[in-house]
Amino acid sequence: MSSQTSTRKRQELEAPERYRPVVDHELCKRCKKCVNECSYRALEFVDGVVKSAGGCVACGRCINVCPAHCIEIRQVPSQFPPHANFNERVRRGIMSQASTGGVLLTSCGTDVPYPVMFDDILLDAAQVTNPSIDPLREPVETVTFLGGRKGRLEVKGNGRLYMEKDPGPVIAMDMPIMIGHISLGSVSYNAQKALFQAAQELNILAGSGEGGLHKDFYPYANNVVSEIASGRFGVTGDYLKRTAAVEIKIGQGAKPGHGGHLPGEKVSALISETRMIPLGTDALSPYPHHDIYSIEDLQQLISVVKESTEYKVPVGVKIAAVHNVGAIASGIVRAGADFITIDGFRGGTGSTPRIIRDHVGLPIEVAISVVDQRLTAEGLRNRVTVCAGGSIRSSADMVKAIALGADVIMTCTAAMVAMGCRVCQQCHRGICSWGIATQREELVARLDPEVASARVVRLFRAWNEELKEILGAMGIDSVESLVGNRDRLRYFGPNSKIAEIMDVKHVGEGWG
């Protein structure tokens, strides 16, 4: 088939637009800022007025820059005849694939309205029999440790505490929050700088993603968790030794079992240098690590990283939450990981096949609890730090995730939104109008790392304050006492089987 035919057909059968910027021409100053700022070219200046040019993704950049506040993005009402089964989303997918014949790509976490168990969980509070604590006047501890917890604390006859000689490296963070792995490549230099700077100021950790660590970011290395993924991009002995912790990435919640694919056009000089890959070629991360086909192989990679870092930094393993997550987590701990990161299926990404993002994996709420129960039952839970992410949207999600069994929560999308992201799910196109998920210099320059970093800092400080409020209300004076404290949760949703699996009592059930 000739490509000309398919282009023609595509034009003929183009799906109707979803969003339309509407300009109030009476208020418009004709400054054309919106036209110039729209990286999706959804606005044009014709015959002296700004008009919609199609292709709007509702990123909201035009609204943000318009000095006259005269732009409004309208969701175009469905132009498809109503059909509950063959809904608009399904038909748009078919139309697009019929034109391109490709695997549908998307980004961010899934937007399919699956039930969110976090929203079906209610928290307990202290009343009468256990007093609540006022976190503004009394200490409520949120310092969290990441690392292995091997060795035993012994109380000797003289009343003193003794630790095994080498308990292994741990990292103290001021709050149980880790900014997840977002690579330089998936996001811009300025975006990664802002995240690292925020992590440093908050004294928490941020993930490097599988993109290496740019030399400009070495000053932040004490707050960076470096990642080893299947492509081994940017991984050198120096990279491993420099950072605070090392994480071996097996999977990602948004694309369990899938590799990475940074298209050649995004592999700029900056990305080539940091990832140590050829300029302009596709950066492909193989689906599996080709030196890991078993838990024993994983143990070897963990060991070689520990040898390489001379046992000075915690080494963890990140997996996507999948059906057998409990057993896999158990194997990971036995393989010697100091921390384990579980990423739920609603987690975000800079690019993933839609089929995988929307249909593969396990919700993080269930995964956390299942892993915590399994590790506890096997006597392994005390040995590791459990980090969990995959759509932690608020401090409430954070509190519930911790009570379900996580030590540390991992979040990316919330930090992105703090920096300006509107979750328009276009990251994979690389023309992010906010300068976040792009490598185009003129777009990257739009993001001021100082401003963005300050916003991330304020967001997580606020979350931590809310964490203290809720801990105080529950009468708990340290976040560590909330970890796995599922007795303080009650399920208030439609499916009591899920409550049973999560080991959470139903609302109305007491314990006395």
Residue 306 sits in the site that holds other proteins (CB under 8 A):
yes
Letters for 23-42 (x = contact with other proteins by CB under 8 A, - = none) are: --------------------
Residue 425 sits in the site that holds other proteins (CB under 8 A):
yes
Q: Which of 351, 370, 312, 292 is nearest to 117 (CA)?
A: 370
CA pair distance 445, 52, nearest whole angstrom:
25
Residue 353 C-beta: closest distance to other proteins, Å: 8
Cβ 411 vs Cβ 387: under 8 Å: no
CA pair distance 93, 104, nearest whole angstrom:
8
Give the residue, chosen from 51, 429, 455, 461, that forms a contact with other proteins under the rule CB under 8 A: 429
Give the residue, chosen from 278, 294, 451, 458, that forms a contact with other proteins under the rule CB under 8 A: 278
Q: Which of 286, 281, 283 is nearest to 259 (CA)?
A: 286
CA torsion angle for 140, 144, 145, 149 (degrees, to 10)? 70
Q: Looking at residues 86 to 145 of the shown chain, list those that interact with other proteins (rule: CB under 8 A).
A: 89, 92-93, 95-97, 99-106
Residue 111 C-beta: closest distance to other proteins, Å: 11
DSSP-derived 3-state class of residue 225 = strand
Give the residue, chosen from 85, 156, 307, 508, that forms a contact with other proteins under the rule CB under 8 A: 307
Which is nearer to other proteins, 244 or 267 (by Cβ)? 267
Residue 295 C-beta: closest distance to other proteins, Å: 12
Of 216-224, 334-342, 389-397, 456-464, which part binds other proteins (CB under 8 A)? Answer: 334-342
Residue 394 sits in the site that holds other proteins (CB under 8 A):
no
* Residues contacting other proteins: total by CB under 8 A: 68
Residue 478 sits in the site that holds other proteins (CB under 8 A):
no
Cβ neighbour number for residue 396 with a 10 Å cutoff: 17
Residue 62 C-beta: closest distance to other proteins, Å: 17
Residue 463 C-beta: closest distance to other proteins, Å: 31
Give the residue, chosen from 70, 284, 417, 501, that forms a contact with other proteins under the rule CB under 8 A: 284
Residue 238 sits in the site that holds other proteins (CB under 8 A):
yes
Give the residue, chosen from 60, 260, 314, 336, that forms a contact with other proteins under the rule CB under 8 A: 336
- Alpha-helical (H) ranges within 309-448 are 325-334, 354-359, 364-377, 395-404, 413-419, 441-444
**Within 13 A of 203's CA, how many CA atoms are on the CB side?**
10
Which is nearer to other proteins, 199 or 250 (by Cβ)? 250
Cα-atom radius of gyration of the chain, to the nearest Å?
Answer: 24
CA pair distance 226, 274, nearest whole angstrom:
13
CA torsion angle for 96, 98, 100, 101 (degrees, to 10)? 120
CA pair distance 90, 81, nearest whole angstrom:
13
DSSP-assigned letters across all residues of 3-33: HHHHHHHHHHTPPPPSEEEEE-TTT-----H
Residue 242 sits in the site that holds other proteins (CB under 8 A):
no
**Within 13 A of 410's CA, how many CA atoms are on the CB side?**
31
Residue 308 sits in the site that holds other proteins (CB under 8 A):
yes
Residue 108 C-beta: closest distance to other proteins, Å: 11
Q: Looking at residues 156 to 215 of the shown chain, list those that interact with other proteins (rule: CB under 8 A).
A: 165-166, 168
How many residues can be counted in the chain?
512
Residue 291 sits in the site that holds other proteins (CB under 8 A):
yes
Cβ 230 vs Cβ 288: under 8 Å: yes
Task: Name the site residues for other proteins (rule: CB under 8 A).
Answer: 15, 57, 89, 92-93, 95-97, 99-106, 150-151, 165-166, 168, 230-232, 235-238, 240-241, 261, 263-264, 272-273, 276-282, 284, 286, 290-291, 299-300, 303-304, 306-308, 310-311, 334-336, 353-354, 377-380, 425-426, 428-429
